[in-house]
Each structure stands twice: as C-alpha cells, then as structure tokens.
Amino acid sequence: MPAPKKLDYVAKLKERLKPGKAFYFTDFTGLAVKNLEVLRRELRKNNASYVVLRNTLGYITMKDLGFEEKSIRELFVGPTGIAIAFDDPVVLAKILNNIENLRVKGGIIEGQFVDKAGVVELAKIPSKEILYSHLVGSINIIGNFVGTLESIIRDLMYTLEALIDKNKEAK
C-alpha cells in the first residue's frame, strides 16, 4: 500500500491529467535544462503541459484513469515525462519532435495507444490552418465549377431564345 503522501500526489496528478486529449510519453535523458525550458514555454503557448514523474506513480495514475495496463506499462520504462495536450494533439507532436535530445516513447491520443512511429507520422500532418486553407481552396474550385456550369446553361438559354425569335420572324 503506497504512503498517504504518494496517494495524495496520485490524486492531484489524476486531476491534472484528466482533461487531457493526448498524452505523449518521453525519455528526457540528455535533455539540457535550456531545452526543457523552451519545451515548457512552447507547451504553455499551445495549451499543453509537461510533467516529470516517478514511473510507479505515473503508472498508477494512468491505470486509475482507465488506460490499458499492458500499453502503459511499456511506456513507463526509464526516465519518463508526460506531455499533455489539452487542445490539439498534432501541434504537441510537432513540438516534441522539434526538441533536441527528447525521445518520444509513444502516446495515448483520445484513448488510443500510439507507438513512436505513430507520433512521428502525426507530427507530419499539416496544421489546422493549412488544412482549412486547402478546404477553402477546394470550395472555391467547386464554386468556380458551378459558375462555369451556370454560364453554359445561360448561353444555351440565350441561343434557344434567339432560335425561337428567328423562327417567329420567319413565319
């Protein structure tokens, strides 16, 4: 049975992690303090956070949050830090992949376990703004296509009206 102090820590940690949409587990061995400060600053700007914790307490916390024991046990090996995304998991994956000497072990994104390769692939996804611009561009193309179809139909109507008028004059 863990000490009451540790149980209190687990309860506080659980409250801190509960609203997270994604959790990325990292090995911070060799990470300079300067890089850790840069990481935490970037995370704060993007509504995310970073926690360094003991593996046993982290394991208990994640288990209490309802995550699969086998998956989380593999993530709590060696020095472990958890990056928590409260908004966009893709932005956090991009940030973590850009920090020197920070190794991502894997993650849990909206309840689904993702290995290291999955996190790297997630980081390659364009940002929301770029995806939105692609969507708007696609909608503009559709609008242009509709305009072209309208002009063809309008020209056909003018031609038919001209033929009708010509036939009336001929009679």
Tokens of residue 55, six digits: 């593996």
CB neighbourhood size of 6 (10 A): 14
Dihedral angle of Cα 48, 30, 104, 9, to the nearest 10 degrees: -50
Answer yes or no: pTM beyond 0.95: no
β partners of residue 82: 25, 51
CA angle (168 as vertex; 163, 171 as ends), nearest 5? 125
- pLDDT of 21-73, one tens digit each? 899 999 988 888 888 888 889 889 988 999 888 888 888 888 888 888 887 88
- pLDDT tens-digit map of 80-89: 999 999 988 8
